[in-house]
Amino acid sequence: MLETTDTPAYARGYQRLLEFAHQHVPGRRCWALEGTGSYGAGLAAFLADAGERVIEVCRPKHSPVRGGRKTDMLDAVRTVRAALATEHVIQPRMRGAREAMRVLLATR
């Protein structure tokens, strides 16, 4: 781990995160995110729109809370390790028309 940062989960925070990445990791990057279809959807869409490569990392089957210690930074490190250890990367689900169709079918 070379650098760490945190940012609020809204457009300006996403932009600061991308600027941080440009500064510390120039060139091509790959972002490993959990929950790209739910709580990580906004960040995943922002990064994809910015031309960044995004992969989805599945949540662990066991709880990451050990001894009462759980932080977003520890979750981020765990997510990166899981992404580096996987043989098959998962592309986030497409939004837009596909998501609209899913909502329509679920509503019906």
Percent of the chain at pLDDT above 90? Answer: 16
Strand partners, 46: none
> pLDDT (tens digit, 9 = 90+) per residue, 20-54?
999 998 888 888 887 777 778 888 889 989 999 88
Q: What is the pLDDT of residue 101?
A: 77
HSE-CB of 97 using CA atoms within 13 angstroms: 0
pTM over 0.85: no
**Band of pLDDT at residue 63, cut at 50, 70 and 90:** low
Q: What is the pLDDT of residue 1?
A: 67
Q: What is the pLDDT of residue 107?
A: 86
Strand partners, 66: 69
Please tell me which residue, 61 or 92, carries the higher pLDDT value: 92
Q: How many CB atoms lie within 10 A of CB 92?
A: 19
Specify the range with the lowest mean pLDDT, choosing from 7-11, 34-38, 63-67, 94-98.
Answer: 63-67
Q: What is the pLDDT of residue 64?
A: 54
Q: What is the DSSP letter of 56?
A: E
